[in-house]
Structure 1
């Protein structure tokens, strides 16, 4: 069984959570704020996690295309 490896992120800005969510981050905890404070974005720390991408996922299509072009130039 392959274990999932995780990377972690911490944010202090409630408005940043939307952007982080689109990047694959999942909110797993909030500390230092009550509900009223959370809405006012005072003192809250947000903890997020996401699976560490495989090497295949890390390589962008641009990088892949560049590597293939360079490889064809050497053959």
Structure 2
């Protein structure tokens, strides 16, 4: 099962910027003429997290 990270941004420029980083627009909310955009992005799997942590640790040890 995929895990997701969610964020809210308030401008279309932020939506475009986040979209370039892999975020997906999933909805909009308008409240008192102020728009909010909701985005989601898959979190890394446990395997990917462990691999990334191990790589960082190994590279840090090399100094």
Structure 1 length normalisation: TM-score? 0.60
TM-aligned CA deviation for residue 13 of structure 1 = 1.2
Q: Partners of 2:18 and 2:4 in 1: how far apart? A: 15
Larger Rg: 1
1:44 equivalent in alignment to 2:35? yes
For 1:31, the equivalent position in structure 2 comes to 29
TM-score normalized by structure 2? 0.70
Where do 4+ consecutive residues of structure 1 move more than 6 Å?
Answer: none
CA pair 48-67 structure 1, distance change in 2 beyond 3 A: same
Q: Deviations over 1:17-39 (max 9, x none)?
A: 11100111000001107xxxxxx
Name structure 1 gaps, 5 residues minimum: 34-41
Partner of residue 16, structure 1? 14
